Amino acid sequence: MMARKRAKGLSPRQIKILEVLERYQEQVGYPPSIRDICDKTGITSTSVVNYYLKQLETSGFIERDGGVSRGIRLVKPLGETVEAPTASLASQVKKTVENVRQTVEDILRIPVLGRIVAGSPVPVPSSDFSLYDADTMVDVARSLLPARETGANLFALEVQGDSMIDAMVNDGDIVIMKPAQEARNGEMVAVWLEGKDETTLKYFYLENGRVRLQPANPTMQPIYVNDPSTVKIQGKVIMVIRQLQTMAS
């Protein structure tokens, strides 16, 4: 067994778990469950593995998607490609392939599901959409998105009309959204107001049983909804992109 360059500072069990993660993914084709790691490492308790996984996550060696089965992935810092002198060509190839995967992952290709208009409900990714139609995709650098965003189910909408101007969003803008049925205070959401039969983008605040929908434009007044059940959250807005014409037409 070769020694790891970056092994310093890591306990034997942390190293063992990292090795298991790498080997399992390579051999089996998908990441191990916590109980799989138990078997491979000889640790008898799931909580102990979880204990170490938390450490490895905060140390930045792995990323986890909470609540997802086998939702673990190794993160490979770019500068860490130094390999032991005994490295074979095969492992070089593997390393390069890994790097490709890494850089490919630097771009997220997000489907544009449709348009968002004040008068109609928001298209959500549960309905049918063509994942690979090049005309209906936007490419976004992963570095622009929040750190832990997997991008798995993000989707985008094109804004139609001037009805979202109080959200500082204009006709033609692209909003990138994450599916959600609820939101935390301060997050911008797309909501369907049952009373008004209208879709709108607002900052969401739940304040003692009452929903406050705050326009992004600070000069405009918020909407108050006393019955939260009439506020149907369609998703959280995580990014807005506006492309401007550089040539007059």
Active centre residues (catalytic)? 163, 202
- Rounded CA-CA distance 132/97 in Å is 23
Query: Taking CB within 5 to 8 Å according to partner kind, which of a second copy, DNA, none is near residue 245?
Result: a second copy
Question: What's the burial of 88, exposed, middle or buried (CB within 10 Å: 0-12/13-18/19+)?
Answer: exposed
| Residues in 90-109 that interact with a second copy by CB under 8 A | 90, 92-93, 96-97, 99-101, 103-108
Q: Which is nearer to DNA, 70 or 76 (CB)?
A: 70
Q: Which is nearer to DNA, 48 or 180 (CB)?
A: 48
Backbone angles phi, psi at 138, to 5 degrees: -120, 140
Tokens of 121: 């409900």
Q: Which is nearer to DNA, 47 or 86 (CB)?
A: 47
Tokens of 111: 């489907």
- Given the rule CB under 8 A, which of 2-10, 47-55, 59-67, 191-199 is the region that contacts a second copy? 59-67
Which of residues 4, 5, 6, 11 is near DNA by CB under 7 A? Answer: 11
Q: Which is nearer to a second copy, 44 or 208 (CB)?
A: 44
| Residues in 173-212 that interact with a second copy by CB under 8 A | 178, 184-188
* Amino acid at residue number 20: V
Residues 6+ apart with CB under 8 A from 239: 140, 144, 145, 175, 176
Report the nearest approach of a second copy to the CB of residue 48 (Å). 13
- Does the footprint of DNA cover residue 24 (CB under 7 A)? no
Residues in binding contact with a second copy, number by CB under 8 A:
95
- Rounded CA-CA distance 184/72 in Å is 26
Question: What's the burial of 1, exposed, middle or buried (CB within 10 Å: 0-12/13-18/19+)?
Answer: exposed
- Does the footprint of a second copy cover residue 244 (CB under 8 A)? yes
- Does the footprint of a second copy cover residue 71 (CB under 8 A)? yes
174 bridge partner residues:
158, 241
Tokens of 73: 């992935």
Q: Which is nearer to a second copy, 195 or 246 (CB)?
A: 246
Cβ atoms of 47 and 87 closer than 8 Å: no
Helix (H, G, I), strand (E, B) or coil at 139: strand
- Rounded CA-CA distance 20/33 in Å is 11
Which of residues 181, 221, 229, 249 is near a second copy by CB under 8 A? Answer: 249
- Given the rule CB under 8 A, which of 2-10, 115-123, 161-169, 225-233 is the region that contacts a second copy? 161-169
Which of residues 9, 66, 186, 218 is near DNA by CB under 7 A? Answer: 66
